Chains A and B, each alone.
Chain A
Amino acid sequence: MEFVFFITSGLFLGWSLGANDAANIFGTAVGTRMVRFRTAALIGSVFVILGAMMQGSGTTRTLSQLGSIDTLGGAFTAALCSAIVVTVMTWKKLPVSTGQAIVGAIIGWSFFTSTPVDFSVLTKIVGSWVTGPILGAFFSALLYLLMRRIIRRTSIHVIKLDIYIRLALIITGAFGAYSLGANNIANVMGVFVNSISLTVHFGKFTFSTIQLLFFLGGISIALGIATYSKKVMETVGNGVLSLTPETAIVVVLSQALVLFLFSSTSLYNFLSHLGLPPIPLVPVSSTQVVVGALIGIGFVRGVQEIRFEMLGQIALGWLLTPVLSGFLTFLTLFFMQNVFDVAVSGHERINSGTDLTPKIQNIIHLPANTDRLLTIAAIGIFLLSALVLLLHYRRNRLKMAANEKKLAEQIQYTDYQKALSEIELNNIRMENTSMAEHLEEKRKELVTFALNIGEMKQFLEVLSDSIEAADQEQNLQRKHELLHAELVRIRQKMSFTHEVEHIYKQAEQIHSDFVSRLSLRFPDLTEHERRLMVLLRNGFSSKEISPILNISPKSVEINRYRLRKKLNLRKDENLTQFINAI
């Protein structure tokens, strides 16, 4: 029962970690509604527990090397103080890391109990606070470049891309949750590992202390994800993660990779086996790695995109969190021991009035060799140089891109001019076609006119010969007959049948669509009525129509009246307007 009570502070810390850090993994996915919260919470919870159970031991071992808290009271106090610092700083919107809080708490406990702090372990942990974000930036820059190239090269349709992004968000989220569980379970349960020893039998299975603690810690993180992270995710993380889904994949994957590297025992053993410097197994702040990853993307997109105040926030977190947590732990341990009479250390009871200065000298053992420090410094310088080179390369590329853009604009301008010229050319062609048709019409008219002149001339010659013959005729009866015959011929010619036919043909040609519509709408019309309508459509008056139809104007009026009757027109309706509207 005592165990259950003391472990609650660790569970609270786990809950707080789950509630806050899950947003780093699924914040964008849920905030942008690409993944439903229920799916995210389920995947996150399962993979956090799996990560904690399968890969959480490495970081826990490192943390217990820093300061082996050997009583439940001490572990309870350290976890509680860390949880309070994390909660208060989150509430005050200050950058915070659970790992830094717990490290501060362990150092506070070490100071209070005069237990020596292993300086080399502390260096390793503090070094990881710097290298974590730098590695995050490095991975994210690489992954971002890779993803951008893939998206641009493949030209995937946005709808299909949406599906791929959803799947990628789920897969990277699962990996992120697994790495979070593996790396950060030490923050939650690391302080309890050396303070209790338990074995639980469950049927055929037997659980050791670490397995049990990791399982409970994993569940507390999962509970944090399930109960409180929705709010944080919907406001998109801690304000840091207002990203597009594409960028979120890169950020989450970078974060997961960094957390995985800093917690993988297999990788540690493998690198040691090869004789290479292994990556230390230490808990890293996922939020700070995310900030590092965002800065990495900023480097790729252009320096102007980097929010440099984020770097300041990280530095503030590095200082503020461990100091506050250590100070609070020191004070709380004093109260726990002297007021509540709780044992906070396996050593003899500590006198609070003792002078701490000589103890501090005993606590911190400076490292025997400085090789490791030099290695870390060399890596730092190498990464910095790589960044400078990357920036230089990027600037050159931007310059080249600007030149290419200018050239492309010039080519485009030429294209536009070409397009405009084509339009003008088309217009001219169209006009030419229209004019050619017009010319052809005129030519036909001219030919008809010339033929008419010829025909007329021939007719008049014949007429002149006939009249001359009649004039020379002596027989009056015969003379009269001949003159009468010529008169009939002249009258026949006056009907202008050919010309009228020609006029009809031309009028029908101009209004070919009208003629076809007329036949469809009024199939009962006679040829004569149809022709009258075509002439009216052409704007001829009754007076003008009468010589064409070879009838009197009065007859034209009668024909119009009959036409109105046939078309069922009312008295107030105008025949010409009606015809024009067809």
Chain B
Amino acid sequence: MFARANKSIELINKFLNCVDQSLLLFKDGVKNYLYRDQGNFASNLRSLANSEMESDVLRREIENTLYTQSLMPQLRGDIMRLLEEMDNLIDQAKKNLFQFDVEMPNIPAELIPDMIKLTQISTSAAESVIPAAKSYFSEPANVSEKIHRVYFFEKETDLLADVIRRKIFREMPELKLSEKFHLRYFTLHIENISDIAEKVADLLTIMAIKRTV
């Protein structure tokens, strides 16, 4: 019984590490795209795709273990939902990076620092979800204090994305309208990551309340 439990714990930890790694790859990938480092960008893209595949496999394996070995009948539904939502983070990161590769948005040099900052804050929101999720499994009482970071970074992401969009539409007359639209979509794509992180945080809050003794 304990051997099966240890295996499940190991799988969950691997999955969380996979999410963490994917977010790092995304952050690095956007930076490389913006600084036109094609070689490293392509390598980030490949690694992120692999990481996404690995996380899917891990998630299915965890689901299988929890259901076939009837572990945590009361909590497994919630836990699987949590892992699915976290998997959405990786999916979104991969989708975003592929969109950079396919659509090759023309990002003006004066927007590069803002875009990098937006990516960093948005991924910080997602990265803050990981310790909160880890805490849910062993110290549910501490989840709420870790989750505050997610909400804070999500709010900051929204503010910065708004600033960037205003800059694009009001202060850059040299850009074509189509380019402005294109850039707006890319701020939205990056912003999406922190929105998903917020969803995970909401779910974690409820789950932690359910588990608090």
Q: B-contacting residues of A (Cβ < 8 Å)?
A: 32-34, 144, 147-148, 151-152, 155-160, 162-163, 244-247, 408-409, 412, 415-416, 419-420, 423-424, 426-427, 430-431, 434, 512-514, 516
Contact = CB atoms under 8 A, between A and B. Distances in A.
18 contacts: A144-B213, A152-B139, A155-B138, A157-B5, A158-B79, A159-B5, A159-B72, A162-B5, A162-B75, A244-B74, A245-B74, A247-B213, A420-B121, A420-B156, A423-B117, A423-B120, A431-B113, A513-B37
Contacts of B141: 152
B149 A162 contact: no
Nearest to A511: B38
A436 to B, nearest CB: 14
Contacts of A160: 2, 5, 9
Contacts of A516: 39
Interface residues of B, number: 38
Contacts of A152: 139, 141, 213
A158 B138 contact: yes
Contact of A423 (B124, B139, B211): B124
B174 to A, nearest CB: 19
B74 A34 contact: yes
Nearest to A151: B213
Nearest to B138: A155
Given A160-B5, A424-B117, A33 B70 contact: yes
A516 B12 CA distance: 40
Contacts of B2: 160, 163
Contact of A416 (B38, B117, B152): B152
A152 B143 CA distance: 12
A61 to B, nearest CB: 40
B38 A156 contact: no
B71 interface: yes
B137 A157 contact: yes
Nearest to B2: A163
A156 B38 CA distance: 46
Contacts of B103: none
Contact of B38 (A34, A144, A419, A514): A514
* Majority secondary structure of chain B interface residues (helix, strand, loop or mixed): helix
B71 A159 contact: yes
Nearest to A155: B138
A160 B10 CA distance: 12
Interface string B6-31: 00110010000000000000000001
A252 to B, nearest CB: 15
Contact of A419 (B124, B136, B138): B124
A159 to B, nearest CB: 5
Interface string B65-102: 00000111111000100000000000000000000000
Given A33-B74, A244-B74, 14 more contacts: A32-B74, A152-B139, A156-B138, A160-B5, A244-B210, A247-B213, A408-B145, A420-B121, A423-B117, A423-B121, A427-B113, A512-B39, A513-B38, A514-B38
Nearest to B134: A157
B116 A158 contact: no
Contacts of B184: none
Contact of B73 (A34, A409, A514): A34
B35 interface: yes
Nearest to B149: A416
A34 B156 CA distance: 43
Nearest to A28: B74
Nearest to B116: A427
Nearest to A415: B149
B118 to A, nearest CB: 10
A339 to B, nearest CB: 54
Contacts of B117: 423-424, 427
B148 A412 contact: yes
A34 B70 CA distance: 9
Contacts of B31: 430
Interface string B33-57: 0010111000000000000000000
Nearest to B156: A420
A297 to B, nearest CB: 10
Contact of A158 (B70, B72, B120): B72
Contacts of A144: 213
Contact of A412 (B79, B145, B153, B211): B145
Nearest to B70: A33
